[in-house]
Amino acid sequence: MNQESTYDFFELGDLTALICVDDPKLQELVFEELSALNYKLQIGLFTEDISLKLRAHTYNIVIIYENFAKQTLQSNPILEECAHIPSMERRKQFILLVGPSLTTNDNLQAFKFSVDMVCNSADIQNMMPILNRGLIRHEESYRSFNECMKMIGAVR
């Protein structure tokens, strides 16, 4: 993985992603896929680091490994942190949960864990079309709402 491709700062208009994956092989695949989509990337090193990054920046994409820091889905602190992101910010983010126990595109699992999409680890090499489909669906879901918020002046 080319660490020189990560960025410590972002500029207005940049596509940004936070990778919360500590499995080296999986992290490398995610890194390569998102780099190919021209995202500026940051890698979450540990739970406290990720928590600070989530508070400091509204990432376009957050990818969370279900067993980050040897946790389970039920005890994953990153999922817990994401559940507390204010709704105005959360609507701007696409959260993808990745792991061996998940079924790719299972909407019920995504709902259960309060994420936008789930993906089985085995499908990461096909992440680009999966992610593109999810991002399009996410944008369509919020299009009317965002237009209404702009009309009433609640957002820019």
Q: Rounded to an integer, what distance in angstroms lies between the CA atom of residue 128 and that of residue 131?
A: 5
> What SS3 state is found at 96?
strand
For residue 25, is pLDDT > 70?
A: yes
- The pLDDT, as a whole number, for residue 144 is 82
- Mean pLDDT of all residues in 10-26: 91
Report pLDDT digits (tens) over 28-57.
999 999 999 899 999 998 999 999 999 999
- Mean pLDDT of all residues in 75-86: 92
Domains, in order of start, for the chain: 3-151 (3.40.50.2300)
Report, in angstroms and rounded to the nearest whole number, the Rg of the chain calculated over CA atoms.
15
- The pLDDT, as a whole number, for residue 5 is 44
Can you list the pairs that 127-136 forms with residues at least 24 positions away whose Cβ atoms lie under 8 Å?
Answer: 127/29, 127/30, 127/33, 128/33, 128/36, 128/37, 130/104, 130/105, 131/33, 131/37, 131/61, 131/96, 133/105, 134/94, 134/96, 134/105, 135/61, 135/94
Kindly report the pTM of this predicted structure.
Answer: 0.87
